[in-house]
Structure 1
Amino acid sequence: MSLLLDKRELKKAAKELSVVKLQEVIDVLKSVLDERQKESEVLDKVREFARAQGFTLEQLGYKLNAEGTVVISHDEEPQQDDSKRPVKPKFKTINKESQFFYVENGQLQLLKTHTMKKALNDKGIDVVPFSKVEKKYVKQIDALLADATSQALVNFNAKVDVWNEWAAVHNEEILVKR
């Protein structure tokens, strides 16, 4: 799906495909489009039937999203918030030497997730470890790490609140905020 969203990647892939392969791709896309159209028609019939029977869509497991369209809920049964065990938070310190950086629009940026690395490389942006950051950007590193540390602290404390609320009910360890 992401391939279709990036026009450059789509054009590049199309250049590599032969005419026969392109026809196959078009046929597959048309069949997927037909399936989606049939699904849409079936959903419309289900909605009409539900309204005729007096049910609300929420009672049948549908949710309305912000655009007013109906989305199928993946929850088989409603779950209470306190029955789901949250992940126990662990505070991870940010080690300067293990961080990666990149320069975008003349500004040094901290690589927040390693999943970003491939996308940045695909855009032609070099991602470098701390030891290979150009000297003119070294002064910005401490500020970036301070921002990342404060954000990590905020996120950790928010997770501690959720954990402690659940832990109090389920007799688990109560964590301390940092």
Structure 2
Amino acid sequence: MRRQPIPARIRWGVDVMDVQPGDQLLEVGCGPGAAAELVCSRLETGKLFAIDRSESGVDRTKRRCASYVEAGRLTVRQIDLATLRVPVKRLHKAFAFNVNLFWVRGAGDEVALLHEKLLPGGRLFLFYEATRPEGTRQIIDGATEALTAGGFRVSVVQSAQPAVVAVVGQRVTAQV
């Protein structure tokens, strides 16, 4: 089976994340494993923990990234974010590509869990490619609302492609 190329939106997103060799990361919704492959290629001592609710997504990621799984840089599990137990104490970054959970419904529990698992200053990157450019505003507003309510400081990064956007939440500690 021939490996599918990594889409431009995923290359752009991984560049935006500025993955460092020692980063501890979580991918929510790993799907076919394209982002996992690119992220793991940038890791040396760091690790990626990738999850997906779909058994087929987990299987595709494991097959595509078998060398990274074998090397210990990638762990892939079939699990829902709501029941996540991350095998590292704290994460530098968490990310998701086109995971609608964060903007279509209340995701308070999931956002709170990610806030807890990220190191202070850690970032949550939510990447979206809207099927219609006018849908981009709805995605940005919904994701921003969810992350702000969960204690993140939010910024938005727009790609050169009009419908591709990153909503970035930075974990901040509570003001005393």
TM over 0.5: same fold? Answer: no
TM-score (structure 1 length as normaliser):
0.23
TM-score (structure 2 length as normaliser):
0.23
Higher strand share: 2
Higher helix share: 1
Q: Whose relative contact order is higher, 1 or 2, with alpha carbons under 8 Å and at least 6 apart?
A: 2
Q: Point out the structure with max Rg over C-alpha.
A: 1
